[in-house]
A and B are shown apart, each in its own frame.
Chain A
Amino acid sequence: MSLPKFDYIAPKTLNELFELLDKYGERAKIKAGGTDLLIKMNNKVLRPEVIIGLKDIQELKFIKFDEKEGLRIGALATLSEVANNSVVKERYPSVAYAASVTATNQVRNMGTVIGNLCNAAPSADNAPALLALGAKAIIASRNGEKSIPLDEFFKGPGLTVLNSNEILKEVIAPIQSPNSFTVYKKLSPRSAVDIAIVNVGVSVEVKDNRFTNANIFLGAVAPIPLRAKKTEEYLKGKEVSENTIYEAGKVASSEASPITDVRSSQEYRKLMVEIITRRAILEAVDNIKN
């Protein structure tokens, strides 16, 4: 381990941060937990002149919930804090679960949910559930804040819509319909640590034993977390039955466009998308019924 040389600055407020981002632009990298950034720097993939540490910016340290806006996760909320937060566990169990199966205890104590999104790995554990919940991304810069659907945040592996003068300040998961439930599922060779071979976030709404809405996002099968539009359309209006859910898995598999890499083959990924999508829908339906 030996990192390339850089200067380090830790602003205390968002205003100071935005001034630094304007000043250094592409020459700087923002650091929250740093568990992805430092590895990329160690591998000499990134060589920023300056690292801007967010750690002292109190305005970014929060997990908030209210009945109007829903769940707000700030840029410095660590994976462990989100995984262990009692409101998140009760109201957004898929978000808590996704955070709890990201990396290791040590990394969860350092890394953040927002950092996992900004790193923009196609397999990011924290993306599918938040996407299925219809989360919004709050992007902040010196020019103020804007809200975009999280679905529009990812642009490719390691790429997001963020400009060098902007940060992802928070994500907001809105209040969910009482007839809906969201599930995150991940398949990886070992139960812990590993990056997902495939993952899925499923949110379904059921009324009178019919699917009235479905949001389905597949991870690690496309350059960005993939919205399974055909599967969503397939489910809408259909009766909740084993057959519907079985067929939905097949549709999801047909939509996925995975590649073969060191972790898995394309064929295996396609087959596993079918299986975990089905299991996730079943689990969501069971939770709505209970």
Chain B
Amino acid sequence: MKKIINVTINGDEYEIAVEPWKTLNEVLREQLNLTGTKLGCGTGDCGACTVLIDGKSVSSCLTLAVEVDGRSVETIEGLAESEDKLHPIQEAFIEKGAVQCGFCTPGMIMSTKFLLSKTPNPDENTIKKALDGNLCRCTGYYKIIDAIKYAAEKMK
């Protein structure tokens, strides 16, 4: 039986009916068409599905949608100020060439947002540790690290 949840997603309030066995990832992508959040491994290893719940990074593939009732979810779609103005983290990833195929990018960016919210000036080791749950299979971690350092500067 479906359950009604009230959830804030990217600042907008939603009242939606969800089946208890649906993950947040499924509801975001299939019910709300917010397909910026990806599904990779489905086991909490790859980080492609990362979103923020009440400001903390989580794997949306391991989150039950019924459990976000009353909470605030932020996805990659919520970052840009407008269609013309990207978020500084997004700009930094583009300017530093930290995107290749792009599949891991939304998760990388959400993990970066979580990191910079706690540590505005992270050193390289802190950045690496903050990305321990995000895999890139195109091989480009160094450009991602550069982009995060650059994003931190932009956001000062």
Contacts and interface: CB of A to CB of B under 8 A. Distances in A.
A39 B67 contact: no
Contact of A8 (B20, B114, B134): B20
A46 B64 CA distance: 16
14 contacts: A1-B23, A1-B25, A1-B61, A2-B26, A35-B59, A35-B62, A39-B42, A39-B44, A42-B42, A104-B132, A106-B133, A107-B62, A109-B56, A110-B58
A9 to B, nearest CB: 9
Contacts of A110: 58-59, 62-63
Given A34-B64, A35-B44, A193-B133, A107 B59 contact: yes
B137 to A, nearest CB: 14
B106 interface: no
B45 A193 contact: yes
B49 to A, nearest CB: 9
A271 B18 CA distance: 51
B90 interface: no
Given A3-B21, A35-B44, A39-B43, A104 B62 contact: no
B23 A106 contact: no
Contacts of A4: 21
A6 interface: yes
Contacts, number: 89
Interface of B: 1, 3, 19-23, 25-26, 39, 42-45, 47, 50, 56-59, 61-64, 66-67, 111, 114, 129-130, 132-134
Contact of B47 (A7, A53, A55, A104): A104
A134 B61 CA distance: 36
A21 to B, nearest CB: 18
A5 B21 contact: yes
A89 to B, nearest CB: 15
A148 interface: no
A104 to B, nearest CB: 3
Nearest to B45: A193
Interface string A156-167: 000000000000
A38 B24 CA distance: 12
A105 B114 contact: yes
A100 B134 CA distance: 16
A193 B23 contact: no
Given A34-B62, A104-B44, A104-B47, A192 B57 contact: no
A272 interface: no
B21 A103 contact: no
A4 to B, nearest CB: 7
Contact of A53 (B25, B67, B129): B67
A105 B119 CA distance: 14
B62 A38 contact: yes
Interface string A102-126: 0111110110000000000000000
A106 B42 contact: no
A51 interface: yes
A35 B57 CA distance: 14
A34 B22 CA distance: 13
B74 to A, nearest CB: 13
Contact of A104 (B22, B45, B67): B45
B133 A1 contact: no
Contacts of A10: 66-67
A3 B42 CA distance: 11
B4 to A, nearest CB: 12
Contacts of A2: 26
B3 A8 contact: yes
Nearest to B130: A105
